[in-house]
């Protein structure tokens, strides 16, 4: 974006916030409440453990074991397989950060890193099962189902993109950095704090943005138009639009929806899409690498479509 346009947009945002200061404060409080009730409990402990495993060299060890299967399925290296595991256990944007670290260290090529980013940056089980399964639907079974769907969608996306950049794949190599536990644990906690604060910052920012749209009547009008066009209820449409912007806000907006095929499809699709907030977080962790984010956007879109279809089918069969 041109700097002049960015400055104009920032000035417009500031003017809008001044004109609707009470709504900004209310939205900010709601965003912080989401962080306290959903984001921090479901992400922070998992961030710590995932980063700790990475610092101790576990992903590279496991990656070497999985290298043959990874090469056949996805045409990725053993290090790429470890990124897939980190992405499915750590949550957004830990997978992207791990891939960026590997690319900067030379563990994978830039081309492989871009393809890995398309299907290895995913939501973690803590958020899916805790925040969505239990927090939205009040069901651990629904949470486990959503997590299995999330894994299947990631695998399907990886299979569809398996030939992109395959000629640039490097073989498995040693982890860029392996630390003793006495050093790894403090680093894991410090990095987890930074990561979760970054996630919370984007959650609050996009919640305030949605609140400003609400103040001007734009968001409510768009929700009503979508409901009239699709025949879906307003609650469902609002959750969809919130989730497209920011996943945490989408999870908060889904609260109260019953467990049905349409609602499970919505949750599955939004979890795999991640929201524009996750895309911004991903671009921020890629800023010091050579990785471009185009394939990440395409991968999230493909994964969301697969997940929504699987969610609808799963709810029809199991619930």
Q: Determine the Cα–Cα distance for residues 138 and 129; give it in Å rounded to an integer.
A: 10
Q: Is 291 left (phi over 0), alpha (psi -120 to 50) or beta?
A: beta
Q: How confident is the model at residue 308 (pLDDT cuts 50, 70, 90)?
A: very high
Looking at residue 169, its pLDDT comes to: 54
CA distance 117 to 74: 13
Query: What confidence score (pLDDT) does residue 174 get?
Result: 47
Q: Which position has the higher pLDDT, 195 or 250?
A: 250
SS3 250: helix
Confidence class for position 265, pLDDT limits 50, 70, 90: very high
User: Longest C-alpha distance within the chain, in Å?
Assistant: 59
pLDDT score recorded for residue 128: 92
Q: Which of 35-49, 102-116, 151-165 has the lowest mean pLDDT?
A: 35-49
pLDDT digits (tens, 9 = 90+) for 109-128: 888 899 999 999 999 888 89
Phi, psi of 288 (to 5 degrees): -100, 10
For 233, phi then psi, to 5°, come to -70, 155
Nearest to 211 by CA among 31, 36, 12, 35: 31
Q: To which H or E segment does residue 261 belong?
A: helix 261-273
Give residue 172's pLDDT.
Answer: 45
Q: What pLDDT is attached to residue 262?
A: 94
Q: Compute the half-sphere exposure of residue 94: CA atoms within 13 Å on the CB side of its CA.
A: 34
Residue 170 to residues 103, 106, 189, 319, Cα–Cα distance (Å):
11, 9, 31, 44
Separation between Cα atoms, residue 210 and residue 44, nearest integer Å: 25
């Amino acid at each position: 974006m041109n700097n002049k346009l960015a400055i104009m947009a920032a000035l417009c945002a500031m003017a809008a916030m001044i004109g609707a200061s009470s709504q900004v404060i209310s939205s900010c409080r709601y965003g912080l409440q989401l962080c306290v009730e959903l984001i921090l409990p479901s992400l922070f402990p998992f961030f710590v453990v995932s980063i700790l495993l990475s610092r101790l060299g576990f992903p590279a060890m496991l990656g070497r074991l999985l290298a043959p299967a990874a090469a056949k399925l996805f045409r990725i290296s053993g290090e790429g397989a470890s990124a897939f595991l980190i992405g499915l256990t750590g949550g957004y944007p830990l997978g992207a950060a791990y891939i960026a670290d590997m690319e900067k260290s030379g563990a994978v090529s830039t081309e492989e890193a871009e393809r890995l980013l398309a299907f290895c940056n995913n939501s973690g089980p803590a958020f899916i099962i805790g925040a969505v399964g239990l927090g939205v639907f009040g069901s651990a079974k629904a949470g486990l189902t959503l997590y299995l769907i999330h894994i299947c969608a990631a695998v399907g996306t990886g299979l569809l993109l398996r030939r992109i950049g395959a000629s640039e794949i490097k073989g498995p190599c040693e982890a860029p950095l392996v630390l003793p536990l006495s050093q790894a644990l403090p680093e894991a906690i410090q990095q987890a704090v930074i990561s979760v604060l970054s996630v919370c910052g984007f959650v609050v920012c996009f919640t305030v943005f949605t609140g400003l749209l609400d103040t001007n009547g734009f968001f409510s009008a768009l929700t009503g138009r979508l409901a009239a066009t699709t025949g879906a209820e307003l609650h469902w449409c609002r959750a969809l639009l919130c989730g497209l912007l920011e996943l945490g806000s989408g999870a908060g907006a889904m609260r109260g929806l019953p467990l049905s095929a349409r609602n499970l499809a919505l949750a599955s699709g939004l979890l795999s899409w991640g929201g524009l907030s996750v895309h911004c977080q991903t671009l921020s962790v890629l800023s010091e690498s050579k990785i471009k984010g185009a394939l990440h956007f395409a991968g999230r879109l493909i994964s969301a479509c697969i997940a929504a279809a699987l969610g609808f089918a799963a709810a029809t069969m199991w619930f």
